[in-house]
C-alpha cells in the first residue's frame, strides 16, 4: 500500500537534501481534518537550513515536485505545510488493499523470524480462576495476537503458581478432611474449601502450619504419595482454567510454572557466586543494587530457601536458551514493578545485557467497581472469573429476549457479546489505569463499548444482506466516494496497520480498542448522513463496498483483542 507519509518525505528530501527517514518522522496528522491530511512542521528544519520556518514552507510549496495523483493541494499556516491527499487516490488505495488482503489487512511481516515471549495470566493452582487474573489474561492474550499479526512468533507462557507452602496446606487438609467434602460435584471448589478451612484453623492452631511444612517437604523430596496428589491438584486446576481460557480466547504454548524451575535454580545461584555478585546480608544471600537506586535483590532467604527472583532468573535463562527472544514481556500487576527492575538488572549484571535490554514489564491497574473499590470479594467470598463471564452471558440473553427473541443461535450470540463486553471493557482504556467494572456501562449498546462495535459490524453485514450485494472491487467507482463522512472513515481505515504497530511498540492494546471505537463512530456518522441503499447503483455499490471494508477492519480488530463477532444481534 502507498505510504503517503513516505511519498511526501521523498518530495521534501529532493528540495532540502535531508534524509527521507528523518523528514518522515517529523510528519504529523493534524488534530482537525480541516487542517489537511498531513502536516509538516518547517521549524524542525530552521536550524539545518538556516532559514525562517515560513520561508522554508514557501520554498517547499513552490518547488515540490509531487505526483498530482497523490497530493491535491498544499497550504501554509504558521510555518506548517498542511498537505491534502488526493481523495480518489486515497479511496482507491485503501479499498483495493482491503480487497486484496481481506482479514489480513493491517498486518505486516516486521517481526518475521523473531520470537516474542509473553508471560501472562499465571493463576495459582488449587484455586478457581479469580477475577484478579482477568487483566493479565486479557492484556497478554491481546498482545499475543497483535504480535502474531505483525509477523512475530508469539510464545504464550502461563507461569503457573504451582509450588510453595500452600500445597503443603492443601495436601495436609485433604488428608484430614477429604471425607467431609463431595469431590464428585466440583473438585476445585472442594479443594478451595479445604484450603480456606486450613488457613483459618491454623490461626488458632500453629501446629497445623508445621504439619503443612512437613507435607510440602515431602513433596520437595519426591514422596510418591504427595507427588501424585500434587499432580492431581494441578491437573484438575488446569482443566478448570481451560473453560475460562476457552471463553476468553486465550492461548498458551507453555504451562511451565514455578515447579518446573526447581532443579534449575542451583545453577543460577552458582553462577551468581562465580561472578562475584552474591553478598551476605542479615543471613540472606543478595545482589547489591544500591548503585542503581534499588534495594538488594534477595536470591536466598535467611531461612535458606529460594525466592521469586531466583525462579524468575532461572526461567529467564531457560527462555533465552529455548527461544533466543527478541522480546520477553511480563504482563504482571503494577505492584511488581520494583521486582522486575531488580530481576532485569541482575540478569544484566550476570552478563546477559542483550537479553536484559529486551525484557519488559507490562504493568496494569486493578479491577475496581464504579465506586473505585477494588473487586476482590463479594459478601466475603472470592469473585471467580467464570462466574462473572457466565453472568455477562446471562445478562445479554435477557436483553436478547427483550429486543430480538427470534434471533438464531441465541446462546452463541449471547456468549460473543457478553464475553466480548468483559474483554473490551478491560482493554478500552490505558492498561495502567484501574479498570472500572460497571454492568450498565460495559453492556451499553450505544456507548464506547464492545457491544457497540459488534452492533456497528452487524449493521454493515445487514446492509449487504438487505441489498443482496456480494462485495466486488471491480464494481466500485472510487470517484463517487467523496463525501466528507466517507473520506473521514477511509482515512481511519488507512491507518489500521500504523495503529496495530503502535499497540505492539507500546504493549498497549487499548490503542487498537480506541481506534475501533473511532472507526465505528465514523461509519455511524456516514450511515446517518448518507443513504447506503439508493436507486443510483454506482453510488450504492461504492457505499456498500465501503460498508464491507469497515466490517472487515472491525472484525479483524476485535479478534486481535480476543473478542468474537456475531453475524446478527
Residues contacting residue 191 through CB under 8 Å, at least 6 positions apart: 126, 127, 170, 174, 233, 236
> Is residue 146 predicted with pLDDT exceeding 90?
yes
Report all structural domains of the chain as residue ranges with CATH numbers, in order of start. Answer: 4-85 (3.30.1360.70)
Catalytic choice (89, 127, 169, 317): 127
Q: Collapse the DSSP code of 31 into the 3-class scheme (helix H, G, I; strand E, B; otherwise coil) and give the result.
A: coil
- The burial class, CB within 10 Å (0-12 / 13-18 / 19+), for 216 is buried
Helices and strands: H and E segment counts in the chain: 22, 12
- What would the pLDDT profile of 481-499 be if each residue is shown by its tens digit? 999 999 999 999 999 999 9
Place of cell 450485494: 469
Q: What pLDDT was estimated at residue 359?
A: 98
Q: What pLDDT was estimated at residue 33?
A: 81
N-terminal to C-terminal alpha carbon distance within the chain: 34
Q: What percent of the chain has pLDDT over 90?
A: 78
Beta-strand ranges (E) seen in 78-152 are 80-85, 115-119
Catalytic choice (44, 133, 327, 555): 133
Is residue 339 part of the annotated active site? The answer reads no
Q: Which residues pair with 28 in a beta bridge?
A: 39
Q: What percent of the chain has pLDDT over 70?
A: 98
Q: What pLDDT was estimated at residue 440?
A: 77
- What would the pLDDT profile of 346-394 be if each residue is shown by its tens digit? 999 999 999 999 999 999 998 887 777 776 544 344 578 888 899 999 9
- What would the pLDDT profile of 276-307 be if each residue is shown by its tens digit? 999 999 899 999 999 999 999 999 988 787 88
pTM of the model: 0.92
Q: What pLDDT was estimated at residue 438?
A: 79
Distances (CA, A) of 437 to 292, 371, 375, 497: 38, 9, 8, 30
- What would the pLDDT profile of 157-187 be if each residue is shown by its tens digit? 999 999 888 889 999 999 999 999 988 888 8
Q: What pLDDT was estimated at residue 378?
A: 40
CB 459 within 8 A of CB 555: no
Say how far apart CA 407 and CA 304 lie, in whole Å.
63
Mean pLDDT of the chain: 92
Catalytic choice (114, 130, 339, 341): 130
pLDDT band at 67 (very low <50, low <70, confident <90, very high): low
Q: Shortest CA distance to 569 belongs to which of 494, 420, 462?
A: 462
Residues contacting residue 529 through CB under 8 Å, at least 6 positions apart: 483, 485
Label residues 422-449 b or e (16+ Cβ within 10 Å = b).
Answer: bbbbbbbbebeebbbbeeeebbebeebb
Q: Shortest CA distance to 510 belongs to which of 157, 146, 150?
A: 146
Say how far apart CA 512 and CA 169 lie, in whole Å.
43
Distances (CA, A) of 297 to 84, 102, 163, 292, 401: 55, 50, 21, 11, 57
Is residue 130 part of the annotated active site? The answer reads yes
> Which of 28-32, 270-274, 312-316, 355-359 has the weakest average pLDDT?
28-32
Mean pLDDT of the 242-267 span:
92
pLDDT band at 68 (very low <50, low <70, confident <90, very high): low
Amino acid at each position: 500500500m502507498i505510504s503517503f507519509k513516505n511519498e511526501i518525505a521523498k518530495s521534501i528530501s529532493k528540495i532540502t537534501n535531508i534524509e527521507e527517514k528523518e523528514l518522515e518522522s517529523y510528519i504529523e496528522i493534524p488534530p482537525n481534518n480541516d487542517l489537511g491530511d498531513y502536516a509538516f512542521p518547517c521549524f524542525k528544519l530552521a536550524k539545518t537550513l538556516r532559514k525562517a520556518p515560513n520561508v522554508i514552507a514557501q520554498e517547499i510549496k513552490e518547488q515540490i515536485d509531487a505526483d498530482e495523483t497523490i497530493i491535491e493541494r498544499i497550504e501554509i499556516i504558521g510555518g506548517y505545510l498542511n498537505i491534502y491527499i488526493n481523495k480518489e487516490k486515497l479511496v482507491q488505495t485503501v479499498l483495493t488493499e482491503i480487497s486484496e488482503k481481506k482479514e489480513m489487512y493491517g498486518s505486516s511481516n516486521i517481526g518475521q523470524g523473531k520470537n516474542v515471549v509473553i508471560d501472562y495470566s499465571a493463576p495459582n493452582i488449587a484455586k478457581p480462576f479469580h477475577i484478579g487474573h482477568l487483566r493479565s489474561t486479557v492484556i497478554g492474550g491481546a498482545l499475543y495476537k497483535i504480535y502474531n499479526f505483525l509477523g512475530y512468533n508469539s510464545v504464550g507462557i502461563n507461569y503457573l503458581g504451582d509450588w510453595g507452602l500452600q500445597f503443603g496446606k492443601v495436601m495436609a487438609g485433604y488428608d484430614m478432611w477429604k471425607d467431609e467434602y463431595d469431590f464428585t460435584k466440583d473438585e476445585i471448589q472442594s479443594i478451595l474449601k479445604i484450603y480456606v478451612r486450613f488457613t483459618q484453623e491454623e490461626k488458632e492452631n500453629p501446629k497445623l502450619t508445621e504439619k503443612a511444612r512437613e507435607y510440602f517437604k515431602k513433596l520437595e523430596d519426591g514422596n510418591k504419595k504427595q507427588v501424585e496428589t500434587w499432580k492431581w491438584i494441578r491437573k484438575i486446576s488446569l482443566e478448570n482454567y481451560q473453560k475460562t481460557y476457552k471463553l476468553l480466547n486465550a492461548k498458551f504454548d507453555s504451562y511451565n510454572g514455578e515447579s518446573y524451575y526447581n532443579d534449575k535454580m542451583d545453577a543460577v545461584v552458582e553462577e551468581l557466586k562465580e561472578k562475584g555478585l552474591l553478598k551476605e546480608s542479615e543471613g540472606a544471600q543478595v545482589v547489591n543494587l544500591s548503585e542503581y537506586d534499588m534495594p538488594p535483590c534477595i536470591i536466598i532467604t535467611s531461612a535458606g530457601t529460594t525466592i521469586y527472583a531466583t525462579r524468575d532468573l532461572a526461567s529467564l535463562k531457560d527462555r533465552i536458551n529455548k527461544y533466543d527472544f527478541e522480546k520477553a514481556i511480563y504482563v504482571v500487576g503494577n505492584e511488581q514493578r520494583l521486582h522486575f527492575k531488580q530481576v532485569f538488572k541482575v540478569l544484566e549484571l550476570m552478563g546477559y545485557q542483550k537479553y536484559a535490554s529486551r525484557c519488559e514489564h507490562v504493568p496494569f491497574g486493578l479491577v475496581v467497581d464504579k465506586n473505585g473499590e477494588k473487586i476482590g470479594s463479594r459478601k466475603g467470598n472470592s469473585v471467580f472469573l467464570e462466574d462473572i463471564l457466565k453472568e455477562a452471558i446471562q445478562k445479554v440473553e435477557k436483553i436478547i429476549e427483550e429486543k430480538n427473541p427470534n434471533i438464531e443461535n441465541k446462546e452463541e450470540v449471547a456468549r460473543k457479546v457478553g464475553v466480548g463486553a468483559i474483554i473490551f471493557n478491560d482493554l478500552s482504556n490505558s492498561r495502567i489505569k484501574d479498570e472500572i467494572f460497571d454492568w450498565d456501562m460495559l453492556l451499553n449498546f450505544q456507548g464506547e463499548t464492545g457491544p457497540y462495535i459488534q452492533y456497528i459490524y452487524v449493521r454493515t453485514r445487514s446492509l449487504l444482506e438487505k441489498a443482496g450485494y456480494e462485495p466486488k472491487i471491480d464494481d466500485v467507482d472510487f470517484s463517487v466516494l467523496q463525501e466528507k463522512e466517507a473520506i473521514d472513515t477511509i482515512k481511519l481505515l488507512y491507518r489500521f496497520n500504523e495503529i496495530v504497530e503502535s499497540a505492539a511498540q507500546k504493549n498497549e492494546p487499548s490503542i487498537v480498542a480506541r481506534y475501533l471505537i473511532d472507526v465505528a463512530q465514523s461509519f455511524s456518522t456516514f450511515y446517518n448522513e448518507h443513504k447506503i441503499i439508493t436507486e443510483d447503483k454506482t453510488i450504492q455499490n461504492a457505499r456498500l463496498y465501503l460498508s464491507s471494508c469497515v466490517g472487515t477492519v472491525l472484525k479483524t480488530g476485535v479478534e486481535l483483542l480476543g473478542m468474537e463477532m456475531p453475524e446478527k444481534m
